[in-house]
Chain A
Amino acid sequence: MKVVVDLNRCQAYAQCVYAAPRHFVLHGREALVYDPSPDEAARAEIERAVHACPVRAITALPDPAGETK
């Protein structure tokens, strides 16, 4: 999968950290560090994180299939 977080919008509610602790981590109080390219097997957790975000800052989509180049 591919994940991007709008960190302007993020207010460190940490809901993604609870939903998918292996893929979203807070360093300090507000610095969110996340996996931009999690394995497809993590989909359930990542989707939980997407929907739990109170400010809807997380976009996660499956890897695009061969549309480029």
Chain B
Amino acid sequence: MTAGPSGPPERILVVGASLAGLSAAHALRAEGFAGALTLVGDEPHAPYDRPPLSKQVLRGLFSPDTTLPRRPELRAEFRLGTPASRLDCEARTVTLADGSTLPYDRLLIATGTRARPWPNPEEASLDGVFTLRTRDDAARLSARFKAGPKRVVLVGGGFIGFEVASTCRDLDIPVSLLVRDGQPLAAALGPRLGGLVGTIAQERGVDLRLGAEIERMDSEGGRLTGVTLKDGERIEADLLVAAIGAVRNVAWLEGSGLAADEGGVLCDGYCRAIRANGDIVPDVFVAGDVARWPNPHQGEALVAVEHWGNARAQAEAAARNMLAGPATGLTRHDHLPDFWSQQFGLTIKLVGLADGADSLAVVHGSLDARRFVALYGREGRTVAAASIDSARWLPAYEAAIREGAPFPPIEGAIDQPRLRIEEP
């Protein structure tokens, strides 16, 4: 193992100019870092917020400009529109696509993810076929939504797919949502609540197809005209959004010696990058969607958490650790994963990790009322809590999850139905 960071930094380089990168930069200044601070971004835009893109931006509510607020004291140099192409840990430099080389005393890797492209490049390049990850994606898609498409096909059973489906219904656009699995959102919410979200989508007019996969896309003159499913059915559509997950931006780290692959850039609980042999890489830190880290709330299992809250929290932990001298202790990144989704006028929230849960109990409200808190248990411990439109109860259960309280942690509460423990 290598020792902690060398002397106090004068130059800090942040590769990745999105939520994690900007949060780290703000945190570095807040912690008193007065040296040179540079943020490198592959997109031409200043750091912006992504969650509104699949909802209000697509729907045309308020401004499409979701640029994140920046504090006047940030005093950072932004190198935008120039992705990093190489990291040299020995020389302590990062090379950018334009050939320039930036030296660092501390480096934060926060390159995030990009939308997983549709696997067939020919189909992916058809007019009318989209992915949704960036501001530019949202602007293009929003313009097509305004033009009034005949039907939108959404591919992918994750939250983005459902949020876009909800936006389509708000705009009265016919929409088919193709989910490969037998239940939507099963990994995040479990089959039961995932199934409930599917039912809600259907009630709001979404043509939800479970177990559906595309055999081929049909086109005319380079424009999408429809899709043919594996079961032979054809859906006429002039727009398709492939929301089939994300790919981590790690290609630029090839040859750097870091343990980086499609699963993310490996780091320890203090956000310090790790080599393939397990050594800590001096002065290199990782945060956000691209980081793969040991989660203390899941028995130190290595996870990558692609959520807004984690990006901020991990960036802040990394920032503190980048400035920690030998005398100051390191900050453990122990963020309890959390996220929200807004769709069909409902707000879904989750804290903890529902994946791997073996039991579920509704502790407030009811699934039928579409207003409830449900808890997930695993081996007798409370591991996650999900709510629909009941967010004010969540803090009580968040504390229980942090403490690893028995499942279910609270009995005899007000507004609590008779507890029934079910399969998740």
Binding site for B on A (CB under 8 A): 1-4, 6-8, 10-12, 23, 27-31, 33-38, 59-62, 64, 67-69
Question: Quick one: which of B80, B339, B345 contacts A31, CB cutoff 8 A?
Answer: B345
Q: Which of B63-91 contact A (CB under 8 A)?
A: 63, 65-72, 74-76, 78, 80
Question: What residues of chain A lie closer than 8 Å to B196, measured between beta carbons?
Answer: none
One of B54-62, B262-270, B411-419 at the interface = B54-62
- Chain B interface residue bracket vs A: 35 or more
Indicate whether B191 reaches chain A with its CB closer than 8 angstroms. Answer: no
Question: Quick one: which of B66, B346, B347, B371 contacts A37, CB cutoff 8 A?
Answer: B66
Q: Are A2 and B78 in contact (CB under 8 A)?
A: no
Question: What residues of chain B lie closer than 8 Å to A7, measured between beta carbons?
Answer: 51, 308, 340, 342
Q: Are B346 and A31 in contact (CB under 8 A)?
A: yes
Q: How far is the CA of A1 from the CA of B72 in the complex (A)?
A: 12
Q: How far is the CA of A41 from the CA of B173 in the complex (A)?
A: 35
Nearest chain A CB to B401 CB, angstrom units: 14
Nearest chain B CB to A26 CB, angstrom units: 9
Q: Which residue of B lies closest to A12 (CB)?
A: B391
Q: Which residue of B lies closest to A28 (CB)?
A: B345
Indicate whether B349 reaches chain A with its CB closer than 8 angstroms. Answer: yes
Nearest chain B CB to A49 CB, angstrom units: 13
Nearest chain A CB to B87 CB, angstrom units: 23
Question: What residues of chain B lie closer than 8 Å to A34, measured between beta carbons?
Answer: 62
Q: Are B62 and A8 in contact (CB under 8 A)?
A: no
Question: What residues of chain A lie closer than 8 Å to B340, measured between beta carbons?
Answer: 7-8, 10
Q: Are B76 and A27 in contact (CB under 8 A)?
A: no
Question: What residues of chain A lie closer than 8 Å to B339, measured between beta carbons?
Answer: 8
Q: Are A30 and B347 in contact (CB under 8 A)?
A: yes
Q: Are B69 and A3 in contact (CB under 8 A)?
A: yes
Question: What residues of chain B lie closer than 8 Å to A64, measured between beta carbons?
Answer: 46, 70, 72, 74
Q: Which residue of A lies closest to B17 (CB)?
A: A68
Question: What residues of chain A lie closer than 8 Å to B312, measured between beta carbons?
Answer: 6
Q: Are A33 and B55 in contact (CB under 8 A)?
A: yes
Q: Are A28 and B347 in contact (CB under 8 A)?
A: yes
Q: How far is the CA of A31 from the CA of B349 in the complex (A)?
A: 11
Which 3 A-B residue pairings sit nearest by Cβ, starting from the closest?
Answer: A28-B345, A61-B69, A30-B347
Q: How far is the CA of A4 from the CA of B346 in the complex (A)?
A: 20
Q: Which residue of A lies closest to B395 (CB)?
A: A11
Nearest chain A CB to B374 CB, angstrom units: 16
Question: What residues of chain B lie closer than 8 Å to A36, measured between beta carbons?
Answer: 49, 52, 62-63, 65-67
Indicate whether B105 reaches chain A with its CB closer than 8 angstroms. Answer: no
Given A30-B347, A31-B347, A67-B74: A37 in contact with B342 (beta carbons within 8 A): no
Indicate whether B309 reaches chain A with its CB closer than 8 angstroms. Answer: yes
Question: What residues of chain B lie closer than 8 Å to A38, measured between beta carbons?
Answer: 63
Among B51, B68, B309, B347, chain A packs the most CB atoms within 10 A around the CB of B347
Q: Which of B105-143 contact A (CB under 8 A)?
A: none
Q: Which residue of B lies closest to A38 (CB)?
A: B63
Question: What are 11 A-B interface contacts by the 8 Å CB criterion?
Answer: A2-B70, A4-B49, A8-B339, A10-B391, A29-B347, A30-B346, A36-B52, A37-B63, A61-B72, A62-B72, A67-B70
Q: How far is the CA of A3 from the CA of B345 in the complex (A)?
A: 22
Question: What residues of chain B lie closer than 8 Å to A61, measured between beta carbons?
Answer: 69-72
Nearest chain A CB to B112 CB, angstrom units: 17
Question: Quick one: which of B49, B51, B75, B392 contacts A67, CB cutoff 8 A?
Answer: B75
Indicate whether B389 reaches chain A with its CB closer than 8 angstroms. Answer: yes
Nearest chain A CB to B61 CB, angstrom units: 6
Q: Which residue of A lies closest to B347 (CB)?
A: A30
Question: What residues of chain A lie closer than 8 Å to B70, measured between beta carbons?
Answer: 2, 61, 64, 67
Q: Which of B383-411 contact A (CB under 8 A)?
A: 389, 391-392, 394
Given A28-B347, A33-B56: A11 in contact with B46 (beta carbons within 8 A): no
Indicate whether B283 reaches chain A with its CB closer than 8 angstroms. Answer: no
Question: What residues of chain B lie closer than 8 Å to A4, measured between beta carbons?
Answer: 49, 66, 68-69
Q: Are B347 and A68 in contact (CB under 8 A)?
A: no
Q: Are B80 and A68 in contact (CB under 8 A)?
A: yes
Question: What residues of chain B lie closer than 8 Å to A60, measured between beta carbons?
Answer: 69
Question: Quick one: which of A2, A8, A59 contacts B309, CB cutoff 8 A?
Answer: A8
Q: Which residue of B lies closest to A10 (CB)?
A: B391
Q: Are B371 and A29 in contact (CB under 8 A)?
A: yes
Nearest chain B CB to A66 CB, angstrom units: 11
Q: How far is the CA of A2 from the CA of B312 in the complex (A)?
A: 17
Given A8-B339, A37-B66, 17 more A-B residue pairs with CB atoms under 8 Å apart are A1-B69, A4-B68, A8-B338, A12-B392, A27-B342, A28-B345, A28-B347, A30-B347, A30-B389, A30-B391, A31-B342, A33-B61, A35-B63, A36-B63, A36-B66, A60-B69, A67-B75
